[in-house]
Amino acid sequence: MDYRIRWQERRRQRRQKQLLILPAVLGAALLVYLIVRLASGGGGNVYWVHEEPGHAIPHFAVGPALVYVVWSDGHVRALQQRTGESLTEGPFLSAPEAFNTTPLLADHVLYFGSDLGQMHAIDARSGQPLWTFDAQSPLRVPPLLVAGKLYFGSQAGKFYCFDLSGKKLWVQQLSGPLSAQAAVVGPNLIVSTIHGDVCALALADGKVLWRQALSAPIFSPVTAADPLVVVGSDTGYLYVLQAADGKLVERYYTDGLIRTAAAVDQTGLYFGSTDGWLRVVGRDGKTPLWAYDLGGPVTVGPVLSGECVYLGRPGRLVALDVKTGGVRRAWKDEDFAGDLVVSGGTVYVGTTNGRVLALAAP
3-state helix/strand/coil string of 78-119:
EEECCCCCECCCCCCEECCCCCCCCCEEECCEEEEECCCCEE
Q: Tell me, what's the pLDDT at 13?
A: 66
Q: Tell me, what's the pLDDT at 338?
A: 82
Range scoring the smallest mean pLDDT among 6-15, 109-118, 169-178, 256-265:
6-15
The pTM is what? 0.85
Please check whether residue 223 is in contact with residue 184, taking contact to mean a CB–CB distance below 8 angstroms: no
Torsion of CA 75, 76, 81, 83, to 10 degrees: -30
81: amino acid identity, one letter: Q
Average of per-residue pLDDT across 98-119? 95
Q: Tell me, what's the pLDDT at 129?
A: 95
- Give the contacts of 106 (CB within 8 A, at least 6 positions apart): 145
Query: Quick check: 4 pLDDT over 80?
Result: no
Residue 12 — very low, low, confident or very high, per pLDDT cuts 50/70/90?
low
In 3D space, the residue among 304, 295, 287, 285 whose CA is nearest the CA of residue 361 turns out to be: 304
3-state secondary structure of 38: helix
Please check whether residue 310 is in contact with residue 303, taking contact to mean a CB–CB distance below 8 angstroms: yes
Query: Quick check: 19 pLDDT over 50?
Result: yes
Using CA atoms, how far apart are residues 4 and 64, in angstroms rounded to an integer? 73
pLDDT in tens, 151-195: 999 999 999 999 999 999 999 999 899 989 999 999 999 999 999
In 3D space, the residue among 285, 194, 193 whose CA is nearest the CA of residue 248 turns out to be: 285
Q: Tell me, what's the pLDDT at 239?
A: 95
